[in-house]
Structure 1
Amino acid sequence: MRNPWLDIPLADYESHMSMPAIDQADMLAAQFSDALLRFSPEAVAVIGCAGGNGFDKIDPAVTRRVVGVDINPGYIVAASSRFEGSVPGLEFHVADIQSDPLAFEPVDLVYAALVFEYVSLPESLGRLSGACRPGGRLVTVLQMPSQDIHAVSPSPYRSIQALVPCMRLVSPEEFAGRAATAGFLLESGKTLALGSGKQFAVQMYRRADG
């Protein structure tokens, strides 16, 4: 089955996420910024980087290597054209994190926001464990399950609705258990609520030593 992310135009995705009724783009960039400030990574990988949302938050005096990973090659082309030359040590990889090798040197911080709803957790976390240095951090943003709110918000960008059949919302508790199996130990977490009524779990993990 072809992954629907390959057929969603970046303009549709970014416009959808930036709609006032959805307002997730700014939230995701803010969480990335918070992670950068908290952990001061020399090297960071952004999983599901799309067009590079939040890359403007990177301080080149602190973070000297930035890895963008996305399944959609068109997203990678757009992110590269936007940030090549302004973000130091920038490299991009087209990869499906549940099935493809992550062909880059391990990093100090892995940021993965609204990614795990679309992938197999054991396979994906196993690969991310190999991409994160021992003692490094994994910061995740999960959309929390709800009985009352559409998992994929309605919007004028109809291509987004192709995600509905393949989206599975994961509870923070389930994710923490899967992450522990892959060597990521939960350090802290918080819940964010947006005006849309959707709630998101932000979790910070430490990669076990050795």
Structure 2
Amino acid sequence: MIRVLLADDEPMIRAGVRAILATDPAVDVVAEAADGRAAIDLALAHRPDVALVDIRMPRVDGLTATAEMLRARPEAGVAVLTTFGDDEYIARALDSGARGFLLKSGDPRELLAGVHAIAAGGAYLSPDITARVIGRLRTSGLGRATAAHTRAQQLTEREREVLALVGAGLSNAQIARRLGLVEGTVKGHVSTILTRLDLANRVQAAVLAHEAGLLTD
């Protein structure tokens, strides 16, 4: 069972998201918060697998709440769920350590796919957000791409293979099947990659994989 914390200051939004999640018998909403401070406290109390956090909330905003949750529990899976999809919010969400960015205006199936991906140790961006992130990478300039390529060369060949698959959005289990490894080995590779490249989370690793040109598709 995937345990989910839902944090949003609008009761109707919480009710709608909860209804969508309730259609999946593998998902259970274990707590709800109407502000960022409560979200932090409930995350520590309930230790959910996935926290869905709105950006604009009273007392503590969602991005600050995300950073605080991850300082206390670095292994937690936090996804920003919001109506705001501008580049500043995307960048701040990724910098805060979020492993997902989901738009409230998106397809309900994206919400469920994101929850499952994050619970499995992966990352998930709404397709519209992914297209914008990749578009920015393509126009980010030769210097940025060269720097990313240089950083990636610190890794072993196997670690670069794993990084490329992280960049493609695969979970640890999917990477293990693709490379013929056990999931624990993949988890170890991902941990080494994040440490060696000084990355906060899988989303930042995925961005670097794109910038370094590791994805061939």
Structure with the bigger percentage of strand = 1
Which of the pair has more CA radius of gyration?
2
Q: Shared fold by TM > 0.5?
A: no
Higher relative contact order (CA 8 A, sep 6+): 1
Structure with the bigger percentage of helix = 2
Please report the TM-score for the alignment, with normalisation by the length of structure 1. 0.36
